[in-house]
Copies of this chain bind each other. A is one copy, B any other.
Amino acid sequence: MPYYKNHVFVCTNQRTDGRASCQDCGAQELRDHMKKRSKELGLLGKGEVRINSAGCLNRCDEGPVMVVYPQGTWYTFMDKEDIDEIVDEHLIKGNEVERLKLEND
């Protein structure tokens, strides 16, 4: 049994050297929305879901990005609607959101 069924890490890194970074797209606000919505839906807790902020995940060119473990599913997202779809489909129903998924190769 994993400690969290879905452990989400949202990159909220802000670079200051001019290169692209996830926080350019408001990743912190979108992560906060994801956590708030997951909490409202009663998804959070041990054995269930955890929504974390993380440092740079090094997929900046594809950002903003998040990864859901232990599945190892990577997503990009642009707005709250994308976040809500990941919550509703992946976290609640266990279905990957193909249109937002990043390839690993």
Interface residue ranges, A against B (CB under 8 Å): 1-3, 7, 9, 46, 50, 52-59, 67, 69-72, 74, 104-105
Contacts and interface: CB of A to CB of B under 8 A. Distances in A.
Given A2-B104, A72-B2, A57 B67 contact: no
Total copies of the chain? 2
14 contacts: A1-B105, A3-B59, A3-B67, A3-B72, A3-B74, A9-B52, A50-B57, A50-B58, A52-B56, A52-B57, A53-B54, A69-B69, A70-B71, A70-B72
Contacts of A71: 70
A85 to B, nearest CB: 21
Contacts of A1: 104-105
Q: Looking at A52, A56, A71, which has the most chain B CB atoms within 10 Å of its CB? A: A52
A55 B104 CA distance: 24
